[in-house]
Homo-oligomer: A and B are copies of this chain.
Amino acid sequence: MPSLPKGRQRQKQLYDAAARLFAAQGYHATSLRELAEALGLNKSSLYHYFDSKQELLYQLLDDYISEALEGIQALCGDGQAPEEKLAAFMRYYTRFYARDLDRLALLVNEVDSLEPRFRKVLEKKERRYLAALTDIFEQLRGQGRLKQVPSTVAAFAFFGMVHYTFKWYRPKGKVSPEELSDMFWEIFGRGVLRPREGA
């Protein structure tokens, strides 16, 4: 009862392997034959676990984005000061992806590989994602704490900084995810925030 039922276990292996391959080589450059081989399975056996390659990618991405969205919304709910909210958001967000770069690579690169039917669903969730951050910026602006920069520019500047990490950052290297999140907050936060008047 504590461990996963056998079938689910296999399914998780499959999803993990797919994520790894898609992240490393790209969705289009990865064949189902390759995926099957990585699992020691026959290609046709894969179809026991999903209906099509597109649907496999969609399920991966939807799982990831939904989980991230939940985490973010949990952070943004309560009545903290906007500056604390921003710091919490950015540190959580950076750590979350610095620890799972495959996930990040998939979300950044492969949403465009989906058919419109699937892509639209995810883009909707991405917009809520973005809105969570721009909302915080607007609260800061209301308090006169934001520099003269459009909220969307600020938000995408931050997303760019973090989303690009999968291209160069390695969590087992000299800089831990915790340290990275501190550095990003220092670089970005101090840059965007105007010092309190009379400080």
Q: Inside 8 A of A61's CB, which chain B residues have their CB?
A: none
Contact bitstring A143-183, B, C-beta under 8 A = 1, else 0: 00001011011101101111111011100001100001001
User: Taking the full assembly, how many copies of this chain does it contain?
Assistant: 2
Of the A-B pairs whose beta carbons lie under 8 Å apart in the complex, a sample of 9, sorted by A's number, is A26-B112, A109-B109, A149-B187, A150-B175, A156-B169, A157-B188, A159-B164, A160-B160, A190-B190
Task: Give A contacts to B, CB under 8 Å.
Answer: 26, 28-29, 108-109, 112-113, 147, 149-150, 152-154, 156-157, 159-165, 167-169, 174-175, 180, 183-184, 186-192
13 extra A-B contacts, CB within 8 A, seeds A149-B186, A149-B187, A160-B161: A26-B28, A29-B113, A109-B109, A147-B187, A153-B180, A157-B184, A157-B187, A160-B162, A160-B163, A161-B161, A164-B164, A187-B192, A189-B191
